[in-house]
Amino acid sequence: MKTLLRFNFLKNRVLIFSVLGFHAFVALLAPYLRLLSTDSQDSAALLQGPSLNHWLGTDSLGRDVFSRLLHGGRPSLVIAFAATAISCLIGIVIGSLAALAGGWIDEALSRVIDFMLALPTLILLLLISSFFGQDPLILSVALGLMYASPIARVARSATQTLLARDFIRVARLQGGSRISILFGEVLPNVWRVMFTEVAMQFTWILLAFSSLSFLGLGASPPTPEWGLMIAESRSYMTLNPLLVIAPIMMLASLVLAIQALVDHE
């Protein structure tokens, strides 16, 4: 029985890393593969089904769905990585500082974290995108700020646990300032326990950006992006279901693989 469970576990991990490796390979090398152009339109091949020339068919403008699908993860992943880095930088520092400082500073920062957690994230992102436009930098910063609060809450809890450890007490007895203890002792150790939360926030940011693209406020046409592809093709599902099913499967497989990896850690 133990051998069977071990085999299933290893098999799952192989599947998880295979899916993640596939997405990483496609995201990095899609522009260098010999694929049809993502923007070239063929007026004689509108909404065609799968064929030797177009493996997943064509969309309403005659563009190759397979090529756009493989390129579709790049905008989302770039935004998600940038926004996750911003949320980690802000969230871990604020959460750790709140726990380390204690007193009124901890109370004030905790209330700010609670306030940010209570905000309707998607609605605020829609307002920001509508007001400032669909610039990738602005979207990355907005997503990073909005998703920093969950990371800050976990970082604060992890730091409070660390404060009872002997090496923190030694650093304080040696006269270390709060800033030196924060960057020299707390942050390197907090980061080790933050992997799960960071990975989960990455998937939420990825889904949030795809949702914005689906609503027309994320990636701008004619950029190939999974959420935008779903929005552009949902009216033509009966003619070629792969127009919608393929980007949904790509997005779902990436999110599920990351969450499965987190569950195994």
pLDDT, tens digit, 9 for 90 and up, residues 139-185: 999 999 999 999 999 888 888 887 777 777 777 777 777 677 777 77
Give percent above pLDDT 90 in the chain: 35
**Range from 6-10, 110-114, 120-124 carrying the lowest mean pLDDT:** 6-10
Query: Is residue 119 in some structural domain?
Result: yes
Query: Is residue 94 in some structural domain?
Result: yes
Residue 224 DSSP code = -
> Which residue range is the domain that position 101 belongs to?
76-194
Beta carbons of 73 and 27 less than 8 angstroms apart: yes
Query: Is residue 212 in some structural domain?
Result: no
Q: Which residue has the higher pLDDT, 189 or 40?
A: 40
Q: What is the pLDDT of residues 182-228, one digit of tens each?
A: 777 777 777 767 888 899 999 999 999 999 999 988 888 888 999 99
Q: Is the peptide bond before 241 cis (omega within 30 degrees of 0)?
A: no
Number of domains in the chain: 1
For the record, the structure tokens of 45 come out as 């091949």
Cα distances (Å, whole numbers) of residue 61 to 156, 165, 246? 50, 62, 17
State the pLDDT at residue 11: 56
Query: Is residue 257 in some structural domain?
Result: no
Query: Is residue 89 in some structural domain?
Result: yes
Query: Is residue 209 in some structural domain?
Result: no
Length of the chain (residues):
265
Distance between first and last Cα of the chain: 22
State the pLDDT at residue 7: 46
Residue 100's nearest CA partner among 57, 158, 54 is 158
124-128 mean pLDDT: 87
Q: What is the pLDDT of residues 59-111, one digit of tens each?
A: 988 899 999 999 999 999 999 999 999 999 999 889 888 887 888 888 998 88
Query: Is residue 241 in some structural domain?
Result: no
231-236 mean pLDDT: 90
30-36 mean pLDDT: 82
Query: Is residue 102 in some structural domain?
Result: yes
